């Protein structure tokens, strides 16, 4: 069987490609499990400082959860499917210490858009189309879409996208703040690699702490400002803080290990 997930490392940047192009990279259980393991392995790999996540082929990032797999599920199986996805992949990516850039190279629908939204940032190619079409199937977004879409584009636009099930193109996604940049498809990897290489030069320890503080502000019952104060203070105890500040005072570039 062909690998469901491909990994390619160039320098400090790993590219993860979801590899079910004939099914438009739809997320079945095996693909979710493989992605979960891959992301955990990359987080533990200290030579990897940024991750680019993309889909195989030129048509689709990910066209959603695998409808063929869940079409006959019961209520309990449906709940378990969503919970497993949240816990093993979508929350895992959001809380990863290593920044993940979604390179949205075509359709990002349903679970596919939800996957892109669990990443720390998104860059789209100009052929990309995004939407949450779940209500056309009589189901709702189940991998965090009702929450993360509203966080990214605001409640009103999220309500429109979810209730109409319509797709938006890359330029509207840019206007709405759903993606950070739009480039031609053949420039997508280079644009993501450019962002990743900037990330890779900075303190990985500080980046992980800063991303965690940003995420804290979106957690119920957690005070993001308090999380920031704690993480800011903790930074003073790290070798990377010593290296960063010493390098500044010595007028040289920092060398973060």
**What are the catalytic residues?**
114, 134
- Answer whether 99's CB lies under 8 Å from 51's CB: yes
- Least distance between ligand CAA and beta carbon 112 (Å): 7
- Least distance between ligand CAA and beta carbon 64 (Å): 3
90: contact with ligand CAA by CB under 6 A? no
- Least distance between ligand CAA and beta carbon 256 (Å): 37
* Nearer to ligand CAA (CB atom), residue 22 or residue 257: 22
* Nearer to ligand CAA (CB atom), residue 147 or residue 223: 147
Nearest C-alpha neighbor of 56 from the set 98, 7, 93, 89? 7
- Least distance between ligand CAA and beta carbon 20 (Å): 8
Could you tell me how many residues of this chain bind ligand CAA (CB under 6 A)?
A: 22
Lay out the site mask for ligand CAA across 9-38 (x = CB under 6 A, - = otherwise). --------------xx-x------------
204: contact with ligand CAA by CB under 6 A? no
* Nearer to ligand CAA (CB atom), residue 117 or residue 182: 117
127: contact with ligand CAA by CB under 6 A? no
* Nearer to ligand CAA (CB atom), residue 139 or residue 210: 139
Angle at 116 between CA 51 and CA 118, to 5 degrees: 80
- Least distance between ligand CAA and beta carbon 229 (Å): 36
Which of 109, 117, 149, 161 lies at the binding interface for ligand CAA (CB under 6 A)?
A: 109
Bridging pattern class, strands 107-109 and 60-62: parallel
Note the residues at the interface with ligand CAA (CB under 6 A).
23-24, 26, 63-68, 107, 109-111, 114, 133-134, 137, 139, 141-143, 145
């Amino acid at each position: 069987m062909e690998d469901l997930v491909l990994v390619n490392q160039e320098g400090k940047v790993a590219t993860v490609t979801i590899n079910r192009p004939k099914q438009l990279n739809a997320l079945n259980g095996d693909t979710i499990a493989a992605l979960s393991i891959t992301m955990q392995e990359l987080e533990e790999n200290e030579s990897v400082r940024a991750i680019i996540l993309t889909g195989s082929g030129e048509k689709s990032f990910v066209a959603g959860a695998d409808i063929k797999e869940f079409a006959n599920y019961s209520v309990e199986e449906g709940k378990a499917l969503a919970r497993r996805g949240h816990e093993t992949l979508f929350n895992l990516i959001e809380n990863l210490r290593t920044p993940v850039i979604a390179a949205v190279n075509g359709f990002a629908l349903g679970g596919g858009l939800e996957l892109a939204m669990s990443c720390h940032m998104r860059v789209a190619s100009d052929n990309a189309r995004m939407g949450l079409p779940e209500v056309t199937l009589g189901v709702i977004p189940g991998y965090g879409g009702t929450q993360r879409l509203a966080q990214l584009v605001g409640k009103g636009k999220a309500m429109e996208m979810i209730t109409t099930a319509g797709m938006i193109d890359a330029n509207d996604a840019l206007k709405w703040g759903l993606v950070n940049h739009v480039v031609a498809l053949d420039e997508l990897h280079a644009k993501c690699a450019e962002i990743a290489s900037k990330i890779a030069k900075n303190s990985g320890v500080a980046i992980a702490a800063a991303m965690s503080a940003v995420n804290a502000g979106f957690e119920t019952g957690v005070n993001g400002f308090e999380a920031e104060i704690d993480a800011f203070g903790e930074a003073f105890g790290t070798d990377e803080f010593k290296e960063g500040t010493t390098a500044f005072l010595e007028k040289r570039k920092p060398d973060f290990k």
